[in-house]
Amino acid sequence: MVQTDNHPQSFAERLIYYSLLSTWALWLIGGLYIAGPVIAWILALHVAWRYYLAPGLPEHQKPHKAGLGVWTWIAGMALLLVTLWVGHINFDLGLGATIKSSIGWAKGWALLAIFIIAGAALDVRPAVIYRAICKLGAQTLVLLPIFLIAPFVGLPETLYVSPLKIVGGPGPEYFATTLYTLEPGAGIPRWQFFAPWSPAAGMVALVYIICAIEEQELKWKVIGISAGLIVALLSQSRLALVAIAVIWPMAFAISRMNKPVIWFLAAPVLLFIGFFSVNIVQTAGEVRSNFEGARADSTRVRATLGRIAVDRWQEEAPWFGHGIVEKGPHLVEYMVIGSHHSWYGLLFVKGIIGLLALAIPMMVSLFLLAKRAYRYPEARVGLSLLLLLFLYSFGENLEILAYLYWPALILIGNGLRPRPTDVSEAA
Question: Does residue 174 lie within any of the structural domains?
Answer: yes
Question: Does residue 416 lie within any of the structural domains?
Answer: yes
Question: Does residue 167 lie within any of the structural domains?
Answer: yes
The pLDDT assigned to 238 comes to 80
Q: What is the mean pLDDT of residues 142-153?
A: 95
Q: What is the mean pLDDT of residues 315-331?
A: 79
Question: Does residue 278 lie within any of the structural domains?
Answer: no
Question: Does residue 272 lie within any of the structural domains?
Answer: no
Question: Does residue 358 lie within any of the structural domains?
Answer: yes
The pLDDT assigned to 427 comes to 45
pTM: 0.89
Using 50, 70 and 90 to split pLDDT, how confident is the model at 296? low
Question: Does residue 277 lie within any of the structural domains?
Answer: no
Q: pLDDT for 36-85, tens place per residue? A: 999 999 999 999 999 998 888 887 778 888 889 999 999 999 999 999 99
Total tally of structural domains belonging to the chain: 1
Question: Does residue 270 lie within any of the structural domains?
Answer: no
Instruction: Give the domain range for residue 242.
Output: 11-256+295-425
The answer on pLDDT for 244 being more than 90 is no
Percent of the chain clearing pLDDT 90 (strictly above) = 55
The answer on pLDDT for 425 being more than 70 is no
3-state SS of the chain is: CCCCCCCCCCHHHHHHHHHHHCHHHHHHCCCHHHHHHHHHHHHHHHHHHHHHHHHHCCHHHCCCCCCHHHHHHHHHHHHHHHHHHHHHHHCCCCHHHHHHHHHHHHHCHHHHHHHHHHHHHCCCCHHHHHHHHHHHHHHHHHHHHHHHHHHHCCCCCEEEECHHHHHCCCCHHHHEEECCEECCCCCCEECCCCCCCHHHHHHHHHHHHHHHHCCCCHHHHHHHHHHHHHHHHHHCCHHHHHHHHHHHHHHHHHHCCCCHHHHHHHHHHHHHHHHCHHHHHHHHHHHHHHHHHCCHHHHHHHHHHHHHHHHHHHHHCCCCCCCCCCECCHHHCCCECCCCCHHHHHHHHHHHHHHHHHHHHHHHHHHHHHHHCCCCHHHHHHHHHHHHHHHHCCCCCHHHHHHHHHHHHHHHHHHHCCCHHHHHHCC
Q: pLDDT for 372-415, tens place per residue? A: 888 888 999 999 999 999 989 988 889 999 999 999 999 999 99
Using 50, 70 and 90 to split pLDDT, how confident is the model at 188? confident
Q: What is the mean pLDDT of residues 230-246?
A: 86
The pLDDT assigned to 325 comes to 79
